[in-house]
Amino acid sequence: MWSATALLSGVAVTLAGVTVGAAAVLPDDEPSPAALHLERATPLRELAAPHDLRIGASVQHTALAVDEDYRRVLLHDFDTITLENELKWAEVHPRPGVFALDRAEEVVDFATANGLRVRGHTLVWHQQNPPWLERARLGRDQAIELLRTHIETVVGSFRGRVAEWDVVNEPIDPSGRGLRDTLWRQMIGDDYLSIAFGLAHEADPEARLFLNDYDATSDGAVFDALIDLADELRRGGVPVHGVGFQLHLDGPVDVDRLARQVARAGRSGLTVAFTEVDDRLADGAGAAAALRQARRIAGVAGVCVAEPACRAFVLWGLGDAYSWVPNAFPGYGAATLFDHQLEPKPAYHVLAEVLRTSGDGAASPVRSGGGR
């Protein structure tokens, strides 16, 4: 579809054009809002670096291929990406024994060529599975063999290029009590977790391996349970390195509780990543709602900056045009930091401000754990 090299040279030319004056490259074009932003703003990744914090965005293959502003904003502001869909089972394992890794390869190539760290998402999940897997109902041994083939192939293909994996996504029951009853748990048993982590570790011993989940309860129970689960697995010698908190926000956040949870994970020796940050607003919500959104984003970013265990702050969707929210939550949208033209919104500016002003990043103690 597109080659990383062609893409890369296009970006280089355009970015140079912005720096020395867009007119030199694009004589007849008005600079886009995104291009104006690039001229003005200090990159988020530069503001985050003194805190030893990675700033990421989820990335979609199609957007990367067709939208030049998307590529430019990505490379300007971010140092980390998560592949939003391209590594999920339905995409990479469409039929039994058939792997389709081309689209993921192209995104990872682009990231590697541009020095972006890559989060792999995800190896075991109860959603976005191909129909054949949903129907499979395998016995335990067969299911373990299938998982082995999948993880060896997918993680093995990106060994050394994907720095960390969400090995198991959403393992906790939404109530916060116990494990979610997924097809993998039904086929294998509770040790599907330790088996999946063991296989991922074998396939890439350097990769940092995460449990990832969201918390829809009002009392923090899912994140508490996620940290408990990671602790329990680690006590059993399972190579779990971190927990991912998705943070798809839809209202006020208890930042004190979130900070306590991150700190607790850190005391257990876990790295924390905020893996899928967005904040959905009801359609038609006005400027005041955008400001409340900005305050919520500032709140969670403040936690990540202040807590040494938190090493990555990844936004879900680079711009409202590419957000999952309108599909997943009809009547809601505007959940990302950039509008439909990729112009930064108030939430972007407060995030930059939090990164710029919080603590004394440069002088903060050297953080332990983390990735490569």
CB of 75 to ligand XIL, least distance (A): 21
User: x/- site string to ligand XIL, residues 135 to 174, per CB under 6 A?
Assistant: ----------------------------------x-----
CA atoms within 13 A on the CB side of 338: 24
Q: Is 276 a catalytic residue?
A: yes
- CA 220 to chain centroid: 20
The runs of H, that is alpha helices, within the chain are: 4-20, 33-40, 44-48, 61-66, 68-77, 89-92, 102-113, 131-136, 140-157, 183-188, 192-203, 221-235, 255-267, 287-306, 325-328, 346-357
Scan residues 340-359 and list those touching ligand XIL (CB under 6 A). none
Nearer to ligand XIL, 129 or 169 (CB): 169
Dihedral (Cα; 15, 16, 21, 27), 10-degree rounding: -80
Smallest distance from the beta carbon of 188 to ligand XIL, in angstroms? Answer: 21
Paired strand residues for 32 = none
Q: φ and ψ at 265, to 5 degrees?
A: -60, -40
Site string for ligand XIL, 168-207 (x = CB under 6 A): -x--------------------------------------
3-class DSSP state of 274: strand
Token pair, residue 126, equals 């109860």
Asked whether the CA dihedral 221, 227, 229, 235 is positive or negative, the reply is: negative
Distance, CA of 370 to CA of 163 (rounded, Å): 10
- 134 part of the active site: no
CB of 328 to ligand XIL, least distance (A): 7
CB nearer to ligand XIL: pick between 165 and 324: 324
Least gap, CB of 5 to ligand XIL (angstroms): 27
Nearest to 309 by CA among 188, 182, 223: 223
List the catalytic residue out of 84, 164, 276, 307. Answer: 276
Nearer to ligand XIL, 126 or 148 (CB): 126
Q: Between 58 and 114, name the residue whose CB sits nearer to ligand XIL.
A: 58
**Which member of 105, 170, 202, 353 is catalytic?**
170
Shortest separation between residue 288's beta carbon and ligand XIL, angstroms = 27
Within 228-257, the residues that bind ligand XIL by CB under 6 A are: 246
DSSP string, 45-93: HHHHGGGT-EEEEEE-HHHHHH-HHHHHHHHHH-SEEEESSTTSHHHH-
Q: How many CA atoms lie within 13 A of 58 on its CB side?
A: 24
Of residues 282-341, which lie at the interface with ligand XIL (CB under 6 A)?
Answer: 324
Q: Cβ 346 to ligand XIL, closest distance in Å? A: 23
Does 224 bind ligand XIL (CB under 6 A)? Our answer is no
Among 91, 215, 276, 320, binds ligand XIL (CB under 6 A): 276
Q: How many residues does the chain have?
A: 372
# chain residues binding ligand XIL, by CB under 6 A: 6
Instruction: Return phi, psi of residue 301, to 5°.
Output: -65, -40
Residue 84 interacts with ligand XIL (CB under 6 A)?
yes
Give min distance, CB of 101 to ligand XIL, in A.
Answer: 18
Whole-angstrom Cα distance, residue 351 to residue 346?
9
Between 63 and 342, name the residue whose CB sits nearer to ligand XIL.
63
Using CB under 6 A as the binding rule, the residues of this chain from 85 to 104 that contact ligand XIL are 85
Q: Which residues bind ligand XIL (CB under 6 A)?
A: 84-85, 169, 246, 276, 324
Which positions are catalytic?
Answer: 170, 276
